[in-house]
Amino acid sequence: MNRYSLQPEDKQFIDEFMRNPIGHHSPGLQRVLNVMRGGELDGKYVLVILQPYRRWALGRLPARRGEPISLVEGVEYKCQLQAERDVFVRRWKDLTGEDIDHELIGEGAVNA
């Protein structure tokens, strides 16, 4: 269980992540990412490499470590940045129940 949960004021970090999903982040965004990466594993969205540096699929973690990751049918990416953004959006929804405007995500997902 996380000691910290996402709060309405954490929305300010969405734009920062969308601009720079990979690399150094502000302390506030890093805290948000730590919450998103922690907690229950069962059903958590993850990226699965299909072809290094070229193609990724959306997956969901199993309840138990060591069991296979299930792929989300029909969701593949050709851009790692767009894939990272989509996982962020999906995890945000899972944790807050709120949608993030998909216009912030941009292009790059295939059948997403």
Q: For residue range 23-56, list pLDDT tens digits in order.
A: 999 999 999 999 999 988 999 999 999 999 999 9
Q: Tens digit of pLDDT for each residue in 54-110?
A: 999 999 999 999 999 999 999 999 999 999 999 999 999 999 999 987 555 554 444
The answer to whether the CB of 21 falls within 8 A of the CB of 88 is yes
CA distance 35 to 32: 5
Q: What does the domain layout of the chain look like in residue ranges?
A: 8-110
Residue 4's pLDDT is 77
Residue 42: exposed, middle, or buried by beta-carbon count in 10 A (0-12, 13-18, 19+)? exposed
The answer to whether the CB of 17 falls within 8 A of the CB of 26 is no
